[in-house]
Chains A and B, each alone.
Chain A
Amino acid sequence: MSAALVIAQSGGFVRERGGDASCVANDGFCPTWIADNLDRYWTPLLEHLYLVVVSVGIGFAIAFSLGLLAHRQRWLIAPLTGVTSALYTIPSIAMFFLLQPLLGRGNAPAIVGLAIYTQVIIFRNVITGLANVPGEMVDAASGMGMTKNQRLFRVEVPLAVPEILAGLRIAVATTVGLAAFAAFAGAGGLGQKLIVASLITFKSNVVVAGGMVTLLAAALDLAVLGFQRLLTPWRRAVAA
């Protein structure tokens, strides 16, 4: 079954149930309709969350590794920045259609596309975070006999955590928004409720689906922030 068909069907379906009939007919903002139909948004919300977590997770793993590699092999920084920046400029709808011949329709092209968009943000933050580690830290670490790897994982990465996670937060926020377009790739998520022509004019739907996207972004941002606080207790230690 084609996804376009599913979207068309669900569009008609959504309007049929409950609420003040005249309000719904006028595409208005109808609290009673929202109350009656809220349950239909849970699945798309969870799908959306899934898309974001998986694509950012994979994207982070790749960009972080590339960042560590380029920190060692400095010459890689320019080409990797160039490539990831170029990929970032591809319009999202085009990206999701371009990936379909390779990966088919569904979550796969959506996740790959979203992961690609996270690259430039995370990669850059990893590189600048590591570059901003004070020289005397690196000097002290080497001078006490750390190997390059020990220095990287015991000193440089921990000190770059705030900047790396700042990148992660931007990546998460961006991905929550972009994931709405993943519906073009045939993936689930709140985008299903936002890209259908007959629904996008329906204020009640836009408020619920759009509001959920915003709330999801805020919740994930808080989650990353909490994670950062957990990882960096030393930053909260106030001068005695």
Chain B
Amino acid sequence: MGESSGRSSAETIEFRDVTKQYPGGSEPAVDGLSLEVPAGEICVLVGPSGCGKTTAMRMVNRMIDMTSGDILLGGRSVRDRKPEELRREIGYVIQQIGLFPHRTIADNISTVPSLLGWSKARMSERADELLELVGLPREMRDRYPSQLSGGQRQRVGVARALAVDPPVMLMDEPFGAIDPINRERLQNEFLRLQAELRKTIVFVTHDIDEAIKMGDRIAVMQVGGKLAQFAPPAELLMAPASPFVEDFVGADRALKRLALQRVRDIDLWTVATCRTGEPTAGVRERTAEADLDIALLVDEHQRPVGWLSERGLTGERIRSELRSPADPVVDLDDILRDALSDLLASESMYGPVVGAQGEVVGVLSMQVISQAVGSAPSEVPGATELAASEHVNGAGDATGPDEE
């Protein structure tokens, strides 16, 4: 997509011992927050209501002035910038979306460009480009916000924030007002967009599931504005730093980890595959070496047919005697959580895993999954990588309008 106008590459965001004390507040809203968001990553601020997420985020574009400490964008202090100029370089998306009802969609998208004095032609061209980017038809450009659905408005809100290709984006519960089904879809779309754009993003939510899904890194905050833990999602789930974090991520954190991994990310069992009419001896030998002590009968394209029974192995050559069909067949690109669900649904302890052509590449078993849940967090990819690999089979969201 024509996004590489090159104006801005992503910048790191660094909070240095940032404190915000509201006048009259008994304790600080944000207390000594220090963290660094690497360029091109999504940092999610998550925590219970009133823990200071919004306050922390709004200090980045100086919508709120910090009491002490400093925030650096690309190594440069926000304190040295004129607030208006700083804000024009930072994409801003809020929960209420905040589209201007008296302006058309194209004019809404052109808000910052017009502040920067772009020509009419350039703004119009850019608006069309952005509508396409967020998957909205060009005809929408002359509509008013009241003529759009909530999800469409949200997309326009994102397009507006991206108008001048800012290196940094701030998003405060951007999907908070959207119903769960559309939220899921918008999240997936946004992750796909981010895999392309690679902005540095501070994303606020109070929903731990959304945090795990969207974040490359997650900052868990607790009331009083203290940072409880700052870690990639998998590490957060694997090793919560305190009882507060453990409680906040929930008792099902092991299950949540499964949502972060794909079948291709883990070590599968090996299995002996065989074709009808093949000499039995070789198959017995390979079965002995494989992780699974049952052979898998495949067709001429290496696609699974079924599990071979003892009787199939009794003759000189393999006979097509099955003990059970090869259910469920798991795809390499399946999310681990979905694969587990398939296993449970077919009351099966294991299932063959196939690649893009349907060829058998290994076996996924309950045991493999439980090992994966306990594996080191470094093996688990971040949200953006997960989204980047998504186009392979479109597993996350088959209905998104932004595909290809």
A and B from one complex: yes
Q: Which residues of A contact B (CB under 8 A)?
A: 134, 136-137, 139-147, 150, 155, 158-159, 232, 234, 237-240
Hey, which chain B residues are within 8 Å of A234, CB to CB? Answer: 101-103, 144, 146
> Given A144-B115, A234-B103, are A136 and B147 neighbors across the interface (CB < 8 Å)?
no
With contacts A150-B115, A234-B102, A234-B103 known, is A142 near B147, CB below 8 A?
no
Question: What would be 12 A-B contacts, judged by CB atoms less than 8 Å apart?
Answer: A140-B92, A140-B100, A143-B63, A143-B87, A143-B92, A143-B170, A144-B88, A145-B112, A234-B146, A237-B146, A239-B146, A240-B147
By the criterion CB–CB under 8 Å, are A145 and B144 in contact? Answer: no
A142 and B146 in contact, given A159-B101, A234-B101 (Cβ under 8 angstroms)? no
Within 8 A of A (CB), among B94-126: 94, 96-103, 111-112, 115
Inter-chain contact B111/A144, CB cutoff 8 Å: yes
Residues of chain A contacted by B97 (CB below 8 angstroms): 136, 140
Write out the residue numbers on chain B whose beta carbons fall within 8 Å of the beta carbon of A145: 83-88, 112, 115
Q: In the complex, what's the smallest C-beta–C-beta distance from B91 to chain A, in angstroms?
A: 9
Residue B222 is within 8 A (CB to CB) of chain A in the complex:
no
In the complex, the chain B residue whose C-beta lies closest to that of A231 is B102
The answer to whether the Cβ of B241 comes within 8 Å of any Cβ in the partner chain is no
Instruction: Give CA–CA (A144, B99) in the complex, Å.
Output: 11
Contact of A238 among B61, B83, B92, B147 (CB under 8 A): B147
Q: Does B148 contact A (CB under 8 A)?
A: yes
Instruction: Indicate if B76 sits at the interface (CB-CB under 8 A).
Output: no
Q: From B115, which residue of chain A is reached at the shortest CB distance?
A: A145
Interface of A is mostly: helix
Residues of A contacting B88 in the complex (Cβ-Cβ under 8 angstroms): 144-145
Complex contact A139–B98 (CB within 8 A): yes
Within 8 Å of chain A (Cβ to Cβ): is B138? no
Q: What CA separation (Å) do A144 and B98 show in the bound complex?
A: 11
Nearest CB of B to A125, in Å: 18
Complex CA gap A131/B115 in Å reads 24
For B102, the chain A residues whose CB sits under 8 A away are 158-159, 232, 234
Query: Which chain B residues border A159 with CB–CB below 8 Å?
Result: 100-102
Q: What's the Cα separation between A136 and B147 when bound, in Å?
A: 19
Q: How far is the CA of A139 from the CA of B61 in the complex (A)?
A: 12
- Rounded to whole Å, the gap between the CB of B138 and the closest CB of chain A is 15
Contact B100 A144, beta carbon cutoff 8 Å: no
Contacts of A143 on B, CB cut-off 8 Å?
61, 63, 87, 92, 94, 98, 170
Tell me, in angstroms, the Cα distance from A219 to B122 when the chains sit together. 43
Answer yes or no: B143 CB below 8 A from chain A CBs. Answer: yes
Q: Residue of A at shortest CB range from B92? A: A143
Give the distance to chain B from A8, nearest Cβ to Cβ, in Å: 54
A residues less than 8 Å from B92 (CB atoms) = 140, 143-144
A137 contacts which chain B residues (CB < 8 A)?
Answer: 98, 100
Interface residues of B in 141-157 (CB under 8 A from A): 143-144, 146-148
Q: B101: nearest residue on chain A (CB-CB)?
A: A234
| A147:B84 contact, CB within 8 angstroms | yes
Report the minimal beta-carbon distance from B54 to chain A, rounded to whole angstroms.
11
B100 touches A146 (CB 8 A): no
Q: B103: nearest residue on chain A (CB-CB)?
A: A234
Nearest CB to that of A138 among chain B residues? B98
Cα(A144)–Cα(B103), bound, Å: 15
Question: How far is it, in angstroms, between the C-alpha of A145 and the C-alpha of B85 when the chains are bound?
Answer: 6
In the complex, the chain A residue whose C-beta lies closest to that of B63 is A143
Min CB distance B385 to A, Å, is 30
Instruction: From B112, B144, B147, B148, give the contact of A144 (CB < 8 A).
Output: B112
Closest to A140 in B: B98
Q: Are A237 and B143 closer than 8 Å at their CB atoms?
A: yes
A144 touches B87 (CB 8 A): yes
Chain B residue at minimal CB-CB distance from A237: B144
User: Whole-angstrom distance between the alpha carbons of A143 and B98 in the complex?
Assistant: 10
From residue A12, how far is it (CB to closest CB) to chain B in Å?
A: 56
Q: B30 to chain A: closest CB distance in Å?
A: 18
A231 CA to B279 CA, complexed, in Å: 86
Residue numbers in B under 8 Å from A144 (CB-CB):
87-88, 92, 111-112, 115, 160
Q: Check B101 against A146 for contact (C-beta < 8 Å).
A: no
Q: Given contacts A139-B94, A140-B92, is CB(A240)–CB(B143) below 8 Å? A: yes
CA distance A145 to B92 in the complex (A): 10
Q: Separation in Å of the A22 CB from the closest CB of chain B?
A: 62
A134 to B97, CA, bound (A): 12
Please measure, in the bound complex, the distance between the C-alpha atom of A204 and the C-alpha atom of B345, giving whole angstroms.
Answer: 93
Chain B residues within an 8 Å CB radius of A232: 102
From the candidates B98, B99, B115, B147, name the one contacting A146 in the complex (CB within 8 A): B115
- What is the 8 Å Cβ interface bit string for chain B, positions 54-89, against chain A (1 contact, 0 not)? 000000010100000000000000000001111110
